[in-house]
Structure 1
């Protein structure tokens, strides 16, 4: 049962757990509370803009009643002048927290778990893209990361020859992280939306000539021989790692990089000679099937036998492959092929189909394009069909 008495050394010492609370008789709202374990703390109760507040003053272990009273008088004066002292304390704590919250801490302590909860399959890729690309900013306070920092990074990436699509992906992942930081009130705002990205030529179609294709295949075999020669202690296997199966599959199916990375063995039907791209892994969000020719069918059967315990098709150390840019670039260098991305294997697949006379609508279905507009980029590769059409009325 709360009691009312001036808060002094004597009254504080006499306060019991049963009483629970001691209200001061001289300053309205000043009171002390005792916990079930006997710990006593001072509080100041006040109202501001019609709202009740209970402001923590301090513990009786560190403050005497007289010291607590002086603090309450000070806070009461601020309240009388219209200051919400509880809100001011909250803002001060938030400012201190923001000052110490670096980009690295935000990513590891808050954003990483959010990514996993939203999309477990892509979380690691998105997180690694930010953490590995912006290492120079990880120790910087979150609210001090500015658009200029990112603009400079883009300039440096371009000097190193990085693809605009890769740069855009990482910048967009970083922007998404900062959007969440604002939403969760870790920062008030950010200006990363003003970062200027490099305009991409979406009409660009790069495919391999017959000579380049052969050099790429030769480069794969040279790489295999080199790896085997460097470690003769290992039992010889048909494939040294995932790279050959992944590249050959991409060349013969036109699958996107993300579709290759998320392909599971349960989606490959060897008896029916096709694989399925599930809607959740497709850019179009629509399920599609891709027939398997003899080359990729035989390859995948052998690769499956070598990785019988894996759930995903393309694995390294029994984990889905995420980053293989180094291996891919080394392969291209060995083959003497320039200006060719892993995504261009998709263009290579489509281009070969069109040049072989396959109807554009069939190509569209195989690529998983939402409409024919994207597929029409390949139409110029079949000039003989245009000529044949005109000759029909000649």
Structure 2
């Protein structure tokens, strides 16, 4: 075993041989230079992983010769040997790091084994879109167990212009790391998303008023009969081929009109209506028996208006809302909904707001949040809680009760047996209690 003081002059003088060989440092045991037959050279450190002669010998490459100086390599070797003296095994750790999964690999496992198996198809698409579009291009090549909270924080902050989406991404990443811990891809409990504060979100709920609902209803009726008027950009070359202004109307079919009405009357999610099959409709009991939805198997109770719509729809497909193909559902309602909203002149109304409106009517009528949650298919009471501020019927009754009695006491209205209150007597009673 050749030993010599490893210096720059020595390294520059080393020549390749038939096979690889090593030159070991005479002053630092375990520090050496590896010379390959190709002429490539690297600084290495050799040590025993454990105590005793039976402990295995490891050899760890520190750096290629020429990328750092011999003195820098010696300092790195001392640091490595120091960690070995404290029980570490740097070579084994490096091998484990090489085997460790990148975030992109963990994400694919998470999406395949967890999300697709336990979430709805729409949720799975949303998870994949957020990860592939926002997270993986930034940190997808990083080892999953090496990702820091600072990296997640920067990613979250980068999407501050879309706070709802940024918060959604943070929740998905947090779920991913929880899954990775349970499957031992990362240490149990390791989650760099923990402790990062979510952006405040403005309320996304939009509740249609009675007048707005009337406008929507009128626009749907117009759309399915004479059609809704549309405008043409007269400056475009193709404008001359457009129909006369009096003939510019868009008629929507009975299935599109029926879908919009069902969304209003049932409070169902868009995909629950578009993917609904006739076999899921129980006319006798007035139920929609959905085998799969965002929250799993679900039953939707049908009221009389919803049943009337279903009874009036032509059955041209296995799907209630027939698409362009007999074997596939309609993909969306973007065009008919845009036409209806444009006709009404309403702004900021999304198709999902029809579901919010259905819930708001129930909350305003004092039906109670648990009942509304069951009708909408919420699995978490916190989801229904967003409508709590609309459940004002008991508060309104209480306010009316107090106001009417105060008005009588002030002589603002005529007293009746129902609203008479003797304030003096009430004061005396209070003073006695005090």
- What residue is the counterpart of 1:152 in the other structure? 158
CA 1:138–1:117: 2 relative to 1, 3 Å: same
Query: 1:112·1:123 contact (CA, 8 Å) conserved in 2?
Result: no
Structure 1 stretch displaced more, 209-218 or 369-378: 369-378
What's the TM-score once normalised by structure 2's chain length? 0.50
Find out whether 1:269 has 2:290 as its counterpart: no
Find out whether 1:181 has 2:180 as its counterpart: yes
Deviation at residue 292 of structure 1 after TM alignment: 3.1
Deviation at residue 120 of structure 1 after TM alignment: 5.9
Write out aligned runs for 1:163-202 (5 A): 164=164, 167-184=166-183, 186-187=185-186, 189-200=190-201
Write out aligned runs for 1:147-296 (5 A): 147-153=153-159, 155-158=160-163, 164=164, 167-184=166-183, 186-187=185-186, 189-200=190-201, 206-217=206-217, 218=219, 238=253, 244-256=257-269, 265-276=278-289, 281=293, 289-294=300-305, 296=306
CA 1:92–1:348: 2 relative to 1, 3 Å: same
CA distance in 2, matches of 1:324, 1:156: 27
Paired residue secondary structure (2:117): helix
Paired residue secondary structure (1:194): coil
Question: Structure 1, residues 235-260: CA drift from partner, whole Å, max 9, x if none?
Answer: x99357xx654432221012356755
2:390 to 373, 378, 381: 378
- What residue is the counterpart of 1:338 in the other structure? 347
Deviation at residue 269 of structure 1 after TM alignment: 0.9
Deviation at residue 192 of structure 1 after TM alignment: 2.0
Paired residue secondary structure (2:392): helix
What's the TM-score once normalised by structure 1's chain length? 0.54
- What residue is the counterpart of 1:17 in the other structure? none
Larger-Rg structure: 2
Query: 1:254·1:350 contact (CA, 8 Å) conserved in 2?
Result: yes
Deviation at residue 113 of structure 1 after TM alignment: 3.3
Q: How large is the RMSD of aligned CA atoms in angstroms?
A: 5.4
Q: Unaligned regions of 5+ residues in structure 1, if any?
A: 1-45, 58-77, 159-163, 231-235
Deviation at residue 138 of structure 1 after TM alignment: 6.3
Find out whether 1:305 has 2:315 as its counterpart: yes
Query: 1:125·1:322 contact (CA, 8 Å) conserved in 2?
Result: no
CA 1:139–1:259: 2 relative to 1, 3 Å: same
CA 1:175–1:210: 2 relative to 1, 3 Å: same
CA distance in 2, matches of 1:130, 1:323: 24
Query: 2:366·2:393 contact (CA, 8 Å) conserved in 1?
Result: no
Paired residue secondary structure (2:198): coil
Find out whether 1:349 has 2:348 as its counterpart: no
Higher relative contact order (CA 8 A, sep 6+): 1
CA 1:380–1:47: 2 relative to 1, 3 Å: closer
CA distance in 2, matches of 1:135, 1:316: 35
- What residue is the counterpart of 2:94 in the other structure? 92
Deviation at residue 175 of structure 1 after TM alignment: 1.9
Query: 1:104·1:139 contact (CA, 8 Å) conserved in 2?
Result: yes
Deviation at residue 177 of structure 1 after TM alignment: 1.4
Structure 1 stretch displaced more, 258-267 or 88-97: 258-267
Query: 1:275·1:292 contact (CA, 8 Å) conserved in 2?
Result: no
CA distance in 2, matches of 1:326, 1:385: 43
